[in-house]
């Protein structure tokens, strides 16, 4: 039986008829149809096909527990932000979500309220504080706040050869919902562009820069997990984020302070969680 054109597409779709779940069948059928439509639209050549296979192979080969090249690929193609938008329909009072990014690491150190989590990372001291609230403005005590960010040189701890974590910790909110820690003032940084994703960006005439930000992941029983950033107001890359993650409501002022001859910064940002009932999946 010679299968070609639409018959080929439909035969591949039909091959998933015995899928273990309806959802799997729906997703795989749509994936096949869109992949085939894509190849037809661009009239994909065999050379391009082999280039793509090589690209994906190298994307896998460079990936490790701390180098998440596939996350980066999804990020620069906007798939991460698209998925964030589809999966996070919640009330306008709740803090908006943005990309998870490739630099989260399980098992961050536990910090107490007010601790310095920079742990010697280069950068200007920055006091990060706020409350974790529900959409009625009530504090959530005991919420788990995970945070991670780059240093003044634009590197996350996992990109450096270090003995211990820097600018990375988890802490619990107090009875009034407060979180508070010292880290360093975040700066704009390039996403890792020495691998396949960097090649993709250069071939597309695109830059690797992300505007300065602090990552947060907040969880509390009965609430939907919040994955977001707080961006620094005035950053020159807010409109050209390489991973399309900026939302206006996530931009905050980092205020400069002079204390004798020392300079430090502070930022205050409340993180508002939606309940699981308020979050339509
Ligand atoms: Fe980041």
Out of 83-92, 214-223, 264-273, least confident range: 83-92
| Residue 233 pLDDT greater than 90, yes or no | yes
pLDDT in tens, 149-208: 999 999 999 999 888 899 999 999 999 999 999 999 999 999 999 999 999 999 999 999
Q: Going by C-beta distance under 8 Å and a sequence separation of 6 or more, which residues neighbour residue 131?
A: 139, 173, 176, 177, 178, 179, 270, 271
Q: Give dist(CA 163, CA 141) in Å, integer.
A: 32
Q: How far is the CA of 50 from the centre of ligand 1 (A)?
A: 32
What one-character DSSP code corresponds to residue 13?
H
- 222 and 245 in a single domain? The answer is yes
Residue 248 confidence class, pLDDT cut points 50, 70, 90: very high
pLDDT in tens, 54-80: 999 999 999 998 889 999 999 999 999
Q: Give dist(CA 115, CA 63) in Å, integer.
A: 33
- 17 and 102 in a single domain? The answer is no
- 122 and 232 in a single domain? The answer is yes
Q: How far is the CA of 265 from the centre of ligand 1 (A)?
A: 19
Q: How far is the CA of 44 from the centre of ligand 1 (A)?
A: 34
- 106 and 219 in a single domain? The answer is yes
Distances in Å between the Cα of 103 and the Cα atoms of 71, 75, 147, 149, 183 are 9, 12, 11, 8, 16
Q: What residues sit around ligand 1, an ion, with C-beta below 5 angstroms?
A: 101
Reference 228, options 130, 162, 158; nearest CA is 130
Do the strands 125-134 and 271-273 form a parallel or antiparallel pair, or are they unpaired?
parallel
Q: What pLDDT was estimated at residue 143?
A: 98
Q: Domain for residue 279, yes or no?
A: no
Residue 261 confidence class, pLDDT cut points 50, 70, 90: confident
- 50 and 84 in a single domain? The answer is no
Q: How far is the CA of 183 from the centre of ligand 1 (A)?
A: 14
- 61 and 79 in a single domain? The answer is no
Q: How far is the CA of 234 from the centre of ligand 1 (A)?
A: 17
Q: Which of the listed residues 30, 65, 100 is the one where a domain comes to its end?
A: 65
Name the H helices within the chain: 5-14, 22-42, 46-62, 69-76, 79-87, 196-203
Q: Domain for residue 278, yes or no?
A: no
| Residue 280 pLDDT greater than 80, yes or no | no
CB 214 within 8 A of CB 183: yes
| Residue 2 pLDDT greater than 90, yes or no | no
Q: What pLDDT was estimated at residue 182?
A: 98
Provide the CATH number for the domain around residue 225.
Answer: 2.60.130.10
- 122 and 247 in a single domain? The answer is yes
Determine what percent of the chain is predicted with pLDDT higher than 70: 99
CB 37 within 8 A of CB 30: no
Q: How far is the CA of 42 from the centre of ligand 1 (A)?
A: 33
- 176 and 229 in a single domain? The answer is yes
Q: Domain for residue 117, yes or no?
A: yes
| Residue 110 pLDDT greater than 80, yes or no | yes
**What are the beta bridge partners of residue 126?**
183, 265
pLDDT in tens, 148-166: 999 999 999 999 988 889 9
pLDDT in tens, 11-58: 999 999 999 999 999 999 999 999 999 999 999 999 999 999 999 999
Q: What pLDDT was estimated at residue 281?
A: 52
Q: Domain for residue 280, yes or no?
A: no
Q: Domain for residue 161, yes or no?
A: yes
CB 245 within 8 A of CB 227: no
Q: How far is the CA of 12 from the centre of ligand 1 (A)?
A: 39
Q: How far is the CA of 19 from the centre of ligand 1 (A)?
A: 38
Q: Domain for residue 55, yes or no?
A: yes
- 120 and 39 in a single domain? The answer is no
Q: Give dist(CA 187, CA 183) in Å, integer.
A: 12
Q: What pLDDT was estimated at residue 108?
A: 95
Residue in the structure block whose two tokens are 């001859």: 261
Structural domain range at position 35: 5-65
Q: How far is the CA of 104 from the centre of ligand 1 (A)?
A: 9
Number of domains in the chain: 2
Q: Domain for residue 210, yes or no?
A: yes
Q: Which of the listed residues 13, 34, 65 is the one where a domain comes to its end?
A: 65
Q: Give dist(CA 238, CA 251) in Å, integer.
A: 9
- 243 and 112 in a single domain? The answer is yes
CB 224 within 8 A of CB 84: no
Q: Is 159 helix (H, G, I), strand (E, B) or coil?
A: helix
- 84 and 48 in a single domain? The answer is no
Output the average pLDDT for the chain.
95
Residue 219 confidence class, pLDDT cut points 50, 70, 90: very high
Q: Domain for residue 281, yes or no?
A: no
Q: How far is the CA of 239 from the centre of ligand 1 (A)?
A: 16
Q: How far is the CA of 156 from the centre of ligand 1 (A)?
A: 8
- 27 and 117 in a single domain? The answer is no
């Amino acid at each position: 039986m010679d299968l070609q054109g639409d018959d080929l597409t439909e035969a591949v779709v039909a091959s998933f008829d015995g899928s273990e779940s309806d959802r799997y069948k729906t997703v795989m059928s749509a994936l096949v149809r869109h992949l085939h439509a894509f190849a037809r639209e661009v009239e994909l050549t065999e050379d391009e096909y082999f280039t793509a296979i090589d690209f994906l192979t190298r994307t896998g080969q460079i990936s490790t527990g701390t180098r998440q090249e596939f996350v980066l690929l999804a990020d620069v193609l906007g798939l991460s932000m698209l998925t964030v938008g589809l999966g996070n329909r919640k009330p306008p009072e709740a803090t908006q979500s943005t990309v998870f990014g490739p630099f989260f690491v399980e098992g961050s150190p536990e910090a107490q309220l007010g601790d310095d989590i920079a742990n010697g990372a280069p950068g200007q001291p920055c006091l990060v504080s706020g409350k974790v609230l529900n959409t009625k403005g009530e504090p959530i005590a005991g919420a788990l706040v995970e945070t991670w960010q780059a240093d003044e040189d634009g590197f996350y701890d996992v990109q450096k050869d270090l003995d211990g974590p820097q600018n990375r910790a988890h802490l619990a909110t107090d009875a009034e919902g407060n979180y508070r820690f010292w880290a360093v003032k975040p700066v704009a940084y390039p996403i890792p562009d020495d691998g396949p994703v960097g090649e993709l960006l250069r071939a597309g005439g695109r830059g690797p820069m992300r505007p300065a930000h602090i990552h947060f992941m907040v969880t509390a029983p009965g609430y939907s997990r919040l994955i977001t950033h707080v961006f620094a107001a005035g950053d020159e890359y807010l409109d050209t984020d390489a991973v399309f993650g900026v939302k206006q409501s996530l931009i905050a002022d980092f205020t400069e302070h002079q204390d004798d001859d020392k300079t430090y910064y502070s930022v205050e940002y409340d993180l508002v969680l939606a309940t699981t009932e308020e979050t339509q999946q």
